[in-house]
Amino acid sequence: QVQLVESGGGLVQAGGSLRLSCAASGRTFSINAMGWFRQAPGKEREFVARINWSGGSTYYADSVKGRFTISRDNAKNTVYLQMNSLKPEDTAVYYCAATFRSYMTNYYYTQREKYDYWGQGTQVTVSS
């Protein structure tokens, strides 16, 4: 119904920048919000940021607030994650996710189970 493809991952030095992209296809008109999650080896998948598709409101995890920026390009059905001032602890596989549902509080958008579709992930490695 919805397909998500991430790109833009790679190796970067601490303090550097990287921009991730997530291209959506299929029933994109049904998407309420898209989010970015990340998962490091041996750790739980954690919320990074989300953006509402129509209104464009954003929400960030405290660990990335002020360093990362999520944005969207409606014409291209694409969301981006601009990552600045990268730290070694940012190293993880980054996943794009989409949900058809609408939630009344930001908390629900941070929960993995609230999203319906997921991309394959893209590796981000930050060297010290």
pLDDT band at 111 (very low <50, low <70, confident <90, very high): very high
**Pairing outcome for strands 68-73 and 58-60:** unpaired
| 10-48 residue pLDDT tens | 999 999 999 999 999 999 999 999 999 999 999 999 999
If you compute the radius of gyration of the chain from its CA atoms, what whole number of angstroms results? 14
For residues 47 and 63, is the Cβ–Cβ distance under 8 A? no
Distance CA 46, CA 1 (A): 24
| pLDDT band at residue 4 under the 50/70/90 scheme | very high
Plot region of 64 (φ>0 → left; ψ -120 to 50 → alpha; else → beta): alpha
* SS3 call for 77: coil
Confidence check: pLDDT of 109 > 90: yes
